[in-house]
């Protein structure tokens, strides 16, 4: 039996990959992160690679045990993607996004960046840097060339990226149509019309169960209006504190039943088949 779950993310960063790499280097866990890319000198992305899994066999191959695997699907693209001919290449060593901010702009934004990283800073302390209009114009021209889409209205300027985007959407649709499937949504606003409508269509699958994690009461009210007619959607709302990532890990995504937050009926999606 292959042990796989799917993480569909609309984030562009490498948080999950880099964290997983650090855990694997520690040697305390054994699992596989499958980002859909294959290759050695160049790792080329293709959706069919999400159907592969790794198994371990004995010396005489009398038994085979699958290695736990996380399929990581970037629905909105990734800063580590770049176009090469008719292929999308994944390169974690030199992400294209590193080059879109010039050294001059980076220097001009140092004070602004310091405030963003200051946990004691207030919104009123932020002030837009002056005299950087031309630098920002250059930045946006480079930003438009990245293989990513914005969360609401979107359009890929390259046909190859558009094709991969639709392939990732089809992969999500396929996983949601499987029998006895469970999807957990965390940090996702459902503002992307394509993804939201796809999920609504998939909720006609009576064996699909979706849990939506809501940061606060306002978010719970907003999201519950979106899915108010679906009986197979439940909401994990805030308790005494907002449901941020730390709270999600300790109260919801936990092996301890005592620490799990109750689910009330009603920048990622994780799917898997229930046992």
pLDDT band at 210 (very low <50, low <70, confident <90, very high): very high
Identify the pLDDT of residue 163: 83
pLDDT band, very low/low/confident/very high, at 275 (cuts 50, 70, 90): very low
Dihedral Cα 92, 94, 98, 100, nearest 10 deg: -110
pLDDT tier, 258 (very low <50, low <70, confident <90, very high otherwise): very low
Confidence of residue 245 (pLDDT cuts 50, 70, 90): confident
pLDDT beyond 80 at 98: no
pLDDT, greater one: 193 or 158: 193
Band of residue 102 on the pLDDT scale cut at 50, 70, 90: confident
Per DSSP, the three-state class of 172 is helix
Q: What is the mean pLDDT of the chain?
A: 83
Q: Give the model's pLDDT for residue 62.
A: 78
Higher pLDDT among residues 150 and 20, named by residue: 20
Average pLDDT over residues 234-243: 84
Joined together, the tokens standing for residue 62 give 């009398």
List, in sequence order, the alpha helices (H) in the chain: 15-26, 103-108, 110-117, 133-143, 159-176, 193-202, 217-226, 245-247
- The answer to whether residues 96 and 82 touch, using CB atoms and an 8 Å cutoff, is yes
Residues 223 and 209: their CA atoms lie apart, in Å, by 16
Residue bearing tokens 């959706």: 47
> Which pLDDT does position 156 carry in this prediction?
55
């Amino acid at each position: 039996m292959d042990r796989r779950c799917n993480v569909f993310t609309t984030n562009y960063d490498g948080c999950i990959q880099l964290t997983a790499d650090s855990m694997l280097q520690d040697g305390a866990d054994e699992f596989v992160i499958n980002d859909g890319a294959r290759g050695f000198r160049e790792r080329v992305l293709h959706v069919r690679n999400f159907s592969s899994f790794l198994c371990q066999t004995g010396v005489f191959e009398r038994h085979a045990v699958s290695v736990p695997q996380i399929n990581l699907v970037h629905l909105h693209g990734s800063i580590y993607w770049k176009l090469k001919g008719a292929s999308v290449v994944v390169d974690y060593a030199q992400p294209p996004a590193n080059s879109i901010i010039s050294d001059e702009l980076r220097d001009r934004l140092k004070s602004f960046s310091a405030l963003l990283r200051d946990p004691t800073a207030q919104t009123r302390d932020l002030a837009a840097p002056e005299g950087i209009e031309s630098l920002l114009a250059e930045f946006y021209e480079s930003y438009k060339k990245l293989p990513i889409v914005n969360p609401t209205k979107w359009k890929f300027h390259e046909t190859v990226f558009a094709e991969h985007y639709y392939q990732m959407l089809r992969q999500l649709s396929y996983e949601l149509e499987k029998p006895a499937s469970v999807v957990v949504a965390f940090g996702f606003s459902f503002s992307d019309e394509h993804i939201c409508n796809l999920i609504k269509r998939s909720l006609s699958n009576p064996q699909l169960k979706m849990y939506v994690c809501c940061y606060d009461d306002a978010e719970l009210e907003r999201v519950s209006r979106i899915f108010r007619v679906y009986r197979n959607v439940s909401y994990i709302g805030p308790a005494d504190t907002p449901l941020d990532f730390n709270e999600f890990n300790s109260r919801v995504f936990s092996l301890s039943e005592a620490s799990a937050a109750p689910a009330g009926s009603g920048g990622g999606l994780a799917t898997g088949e229930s046992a």
